[in-house]
Amino acid sequence: MPSARESLLIAAQSALAAQPWATVRMVEVAAAAGVSRQTLYNEFRTKEGLGAALVARQVDGFVTGAADAVTAARRSGGDPAVCCAAAAVWILCRAREEPLVRAALTGFWNSRLPLPEVPPAQVVERLAAGILDALSGEGGAELRRACEAGLRLALSYVVVPPTEPDAPARVAAVVSALLSGSSVRGGLPAPDAGPPTRRP
């Protein structure tokens, strides 16, 4: 059985799915959760506090889900490239489905949504850290850089959502190629090599 706090957050999420946050009423959230209004205020103090907690809950689940996608890919025998591609697909699909997560990642908020307490950069940092932790230290600095590049590629699709239904598969293919290094590094200088030398 969920705690009073969890029940309130579930009720708030349901209310937000049906109406803009500005019109969500605390008394209705409490009633839907089956608790008193005083319990609601004891837990969150204000409507802003409830909104911030709701955003945090969604972001926490999103970050955990991305790491779980990596873990599942590893258990299936996937290498780091396949694992990070799986995380990219998770990011793209979940952000498409969850407005709160999409807003937290992009910083694009509207009056339908409660405001977060953390900027998008911190959310992205948590996301990258969770993915790399799920890889259990595989690779080194090069993998970390490639993983970050793949993450930013996936996030670019969140900022400007694609209309093609095969977009997640295409993103996964590019991220996998990026991390495998076989098809994206040919002809490019190494990270510390400086600009190419101009021939006379």
Residue 38 and residue 107 in one domain: no
pLDDT of residue 38: 96
Please give the model's pTM, rounded to 2 decimal places.
0.82
Residue 69 and residue 159 in one domain: yes
pLDDT in tens, the chain (200 residues): 789 999 999 999 999 999 999 999 999 999 999 999 999 999 999 999 999 999 999 999 999 999 999 999 999 999 888 999 999 999 999 998 899 999 999 988 888 999 877 899 999 999 999 998 998 766 667 777 878 888 888 899 898 888 888 888 888 888 888 777 643 333 333 334 344 444 44
Q: How far apart are CA 52 and CA 44, in angstroms?
A: 9
Residue 167 and residue 68 in one domain: yes
pLDDT of residue 37: 96
Residue 22 and residue 69 in one domain: no
Would you say residue 185 lies in a domain?
no
Can you give the residue range of the structural domain that contains 22?
Answer: 1-45
Query: Are the C-beta atoms of residues 77 and 41 closer than 8 Å to each other?
Result: no
- 13: burial class by Cβ within 10 Å (0-12, 13-18, 19+)? middle
Q: How far apart are CA 175 and CA 84, in angstroms?
A: 7
Query: How many distinct structural domains can be found in the chain?
Result: 2
Of 79, 15, 86, the C-alpha closest to 47 is 15
Would you say residue 53 lies in a domain?
no
Would you say residue 109 lies in a domain?
yes
pLDDT of residue 193: 39
Would you say residue 35 lies in a domain?
yes
Tokens 């190419």 correspond to 196
Residue 65 and residue 20 in one domain: no
Of 22, 14, 48, the C-alpha closest to 116 is 48
Residue 108 and residue 20 in one domain: no
pLDDT of residue 110: 86
Query: Are the C-beta atoms of residues 63 and 129 closer than 8 Å to each other?
Result: no
Residue 65 and residue 41 in one domain: no
Residue 14 and residue 40 in one domain: yes
Would you say residue 173 lies in a domain?
yes
Would you say residue 167 lies in a domain?
yes
> Which residues are CB-contacts of 58 (< 8 A; sequence separation ≥ 6)?
13, 98, 100, 101, 104
pLDDT of residue 6: 97
**The residue count for the chain:** 200
Of 148, 132, 140, the C-alpha closest to 66 is 132
Residue 7 and residue 70 in one domain: no
pLDDT of residue 144: 77
Of 59, 42, 31, the C-alpha closest to 5 is 42
CATH number at residue 2: 1.10.10.60
Residue 26 and residue 64 in one domain: no
Distances (CA, A) of 70 to 78, 83, 131, 157: 9, 5, 7, 19
